[in-house]
Amino acid sequence: MTTPHTTVGAKVKNFFGRLDPLIVLIISAVLVTIVLPARGEFAEHFSLATKLAIALLFFLYGARLSPQEALAGLKHWRLHLTILAFTYAVFPLIGVALRPLHLVFGMPLYLGILYLTLVPSTVQSSVAFTSIARGNVAGAIVSASASNLIGVVLTPVLVMIAMGGSVTLSPKIFEDIAIQLLLPFVVGQLLRPLVKDFAKNKATKLVDRGSITMVVYSTFSAGMVEGIWGTVRPLELLGLVVLAVLFVGFMLWLTRAVARWLKFSDADVKAIQFCGTKKSLATGLPMAAVIFGGANLGLLILPLMIFHQVQLMMCSFLAGRYAKQLD
């Protein structure tokens, strides 16, 4: 006999059963952060663990990809130019067009919105979501890595043009990208004959999801500890969340529409969507510290932090839906 309690229980179970595991992990990480953010020595150790997880992820990507696939990724110049155009042309133009928002949020927060449109694409989550969706992973790795390397020079130039800031560059960002991302990928390629079978099973998917969850917890904790979330009114915070949802949704639609119009394959369309809609908090934060010297940095990076969390949630849902369509 079915009771109201069993019916409700079945509906709840069915609802959670349909949620993508990555979304559940991201939401769980946010909830844990609210109650228990990473602080002090633990935060330093967790940050190191996150970097190691990301390095392991790219080692597995290198081990999974055959040299032929990696070479094909390098040669796919149309894909890379399309993604770079979205990152460094379409996004900044939209950021400038959104200038009237300073009447709603005030100039400091609007400058934060403008700044988020100027930073490079993410590498780790762009490639991870492309992998989950079974898109062109080789192309995504090359495009996302190139976006970060180019962004070290191009983002400050765009800041000078759009925001009038003075720029000082540090070569450490080049080192971080080379050591944390490119080196593990090359090592994975070299050791591929030994570990390719291990990399092709569930190991890569587990590290995909785990590393993204760790990034969410680490970045959200930093915002909690530094008190960034308390520097704006709740209504402004809600407005930034709504804006981020609309912005990410529009860019996901636009990248897909343009990629299809340019006659890219389905695998390439997914790479363009997941690389061309992302903005990197990991790269954007240190760049902001160098470019702006810490002045009003909290308000400046708040829109980027919100956009970063929203893009992870929305893209994880889309990547999961793509994966289910192919199962």
In a domain, 127, yes or no: yes
Q: Which residue has the tokens 């696939």?
A: 69
Number of domains in the chain: 1
The rounded distance, in Å, linking the Cα atoms of 77 and 81 is: 6
User: The domain spanning residue 250 has which CATH number?
Assistant: 1.20.1530.20
CA torsion through residues 326, 273, 217, 240, sign: negative
Contacts of 84 (CB under 8 A, 6+ apart): 143, 146, 147, 150
For residue 118, is pLDDT > 90? yes
Task: Tell me the pLDDT band of 232, cut-offs 50, 70 and 90.
Answer: confident
In a domain, 33, yes or no: no
**Residue 187 tokens, joined:** 């090592």
Contacts of 239 (CB under 8 A, 6+ apart): 104, 105
In a domain, 125, yes or no: yes
In a domain, 26, yes or no: no
Helix (H) or strand (E) holding 63: helix 40-64
- List, for residues 37-54, the tens digit of each pLDDT value: 888 889 889 888 888 888
The rounded distance, in Å, linking the Cα atoms of 118 and 98 is: 13
In a domain, 293, yes or no: yes
In a domain, 27, yes or no: no
Q: Which residue has the tokens 């990507």?
A: 61
**Which domain, by its residues, includes 116?**
38-322
Task: Tell me the pLDDT band of 229, cut-offs 50, 70 and 90.
Answer: low
Among 110-114, 147-151, 158-162, 282-286, whose mean pLDDT is lowest?
282-286
Task: Tell me the pLDDT band of 10, cut-offs 50, 70 and 90.
Answer: low
In a domain, 30, yes or no: no
**b/e for 99-119, b at 16 or more Cβ within 10 A?**
eebeeebeeebbbbbbbbbbb
In a domain, 24, yes or no: no
